Amino acid sequence: MMRIKTLLLGLVCLPAVLFSQEKKWTLNECVKHALENNISIKQSELDLESAQYDKRDAIGKFIPSLNGSASYSANTGANINPVTNQFENEVFTSFTTGFNSSLTLFDGLRNIRQLQRAKLAQLATQYQLDKMKDDISLAVANAYLNVLLNKANLSSLQSQNEVSKEQLKRTEDLVEGGVLPKGDLLEIKANMANEKQQIAIARNTVKIALINLAQLLLVKDYENFQIVDEGYELVSNEVANQPVASIIASAEENRPELKIAEQNLAIAQKDVQISRGAYYPTLTAFFGYNTRYSDNDFFERSFTTQLYQNDGIGYGVQLNVPILNGLATRNNVARSKINLERRKYQLEQAKLDLESNVYQAHVDAQGALEAYEAAQEVVKSQELAFDYAQQRYDVGLTNGFDFTQAKQRLDNAIIELNRAKYDYIFKLKVLELYFGIDPQNLKL
């Protein structure tokens, strides 16, 4: 009986235990979940699947076509008997069947180049998917860091509020002892009221940031969605210390946006070759088999006998030579060449944009590091200033207004330090992507 009660008690407490062990998402888990569930990525995956079928279509042009046919008809009046091939003015039924096959032997190499083009288009679609994954990963990292920033700000405000509570008690004692005027106590209380308001705003900001991240991940349980917010310190700035030329070289080798432009140029070159292929003759081989039956047969043969004896085979090759087509081929070639030149310029622009973006990312990372280091110095200075102001306030050498101003300057410096820290981390993530680090391997 005691064992049953214990078991029932354990089952009752189980939901509470599970609830207390809610899942907290790491950055890598968020990125992985987004890459697996993002709608835009799924659409790009469908584009890739469609490109694979385009490739199969191109392969299919090397396979002979085969088509079968059959027809049954009842005839009255003057009609041609398919067996005797004579007009007959009688009621009769007939049946014909057969199949035809054809194969393109030569079409100016267009079938070969269509297959090559399909392969290039498939690669371009894959690079488009890779770029979208990078963009989504960076967006998730940015949203994740935004949550961490707001949580850090909330924690800083709460810690400073605890300091204010201690200072309130000390001020009350000093006012009662006649060391400080009552106005200083009112100033401290007013500052605490402002801090409570800021804490409430910061708490709401954290909640909104979590909802934004959850929406990006397509997680609908907003209320229970939480992330791991401990142990995040500045990662190694090994990439940031790399020469910018090395980062550019790595980006040119790895970045999908440049590969997309290169594939588009290769596709345009194939389009020129394909359009030129229309200048050449087309040679096609064909083969056909057919047979027929009529119930108005002179020899009164059976259905199977007629099908066996009335069959025929046709085969041969057909040559089509383009002579004049209203300048359509010439115009198509000219348009293809124009598009080729456009793709060359786009590739050149993509290289310039990539180099500019890498330089900008490198400068941003260096500037963010300098801003973070400067913010650290500001916090240290404001901490010293606040300690000095607190010592003077405790002995009545400064008033409550000056004291709260010193504390607010410290609070603002800490919040700015948090902002500078996570801004630097994010800019490092951008630089890491250009350096070729896989989005799923982004670390904090």
* 270, 271, 273, 276 alpha-carbon torsion, rounded to 10°: 180
In a domain, 214, yes or no: yes
Total domain count for the chain? 1
| CATH number of the domain encompassing residue 181 | 1.20.1600.10
DSSP-assigned beta bridge partners for residue 293 = 95
In a domain, 101, yes or no: no
**Left if phi > 0, otherwise alpha if psi is -120 to 50, otherwise beta: which for 327?**
left
pLDDT for 332 equals 94
With residue 94 as reference, give the H or E element that holds it: strand 92-106
Is the confidence at residue 20, as pLDDT, over 50?
A: no
pLDDT for 356 equals 95
DSSP-assigned beta bridge partners for residue 226 = 24
Mean of pLDDT values over 21-41: 86
Mean of pLDDT values over 240-247: 86
In a domain, 347, yes or no: yes
In a domain, 410, yes or no: yes
In a domain, 274, yes or no: yes
Measured distance CA(382)–CA(405) in Å, rounded: 11
Establish how many alpha carbons lie within 13 A of residue 388's alpha carbon, considering only the half-sphere containing its beta carbon: 7
Mean of pLDDT values over 184-207: 88
In a domain, 120, yes or no: no
> Which distant-in-sequence residues (6+ apart) come within 8 Å of 301 by Cβ?
309
Measured distance CA(98)–CA(138) in Å, rounded: 61
pLDDT for 76 equals 77
In a domain, 344, yes or no: yes
pLDDT for 441 equals 60
pLDDT for 210 equals 93
* Model pLDDT for residues 84-97, shown as the tens digit of each residue: 777 777 777 889 99
With residue 384 as reference, give the H or E element that holds it: helix 328-394
* Model pLDDT for residues 318-377, shown as the tens digit of each residue: 999 998 887 899 999 999 999 999 999 999 999 999 999 999 999 998 899 899 999 999
pLDDT, averaged across the chain: 86
Q: pLDDT grade, residue 233 (50/70/90)?
A: low
- What is the extent of the structural domain holding 386? 130-280+323-444
Is the confidence at residue 9, as pLDDT, over 50?
A: no
Kindly provide the b/e burial profile for residues 406-426, where b requires at least 16 CB atoms within 10 angstroms of the residue's own CB.
bbbbbbebbbbbbbbbbbbbb
CA distances from 147 to 26, 133, 211 (A): 12, 21, 10
Q: pTM to 2 decimals?
A: 0.80
In a domain, 287, yes or no: no
Measured distance CA(95)–CA(235) in Å, rounded: 81
Q: pLDDT grade, residue 391 (50/70/90)?
A: confident
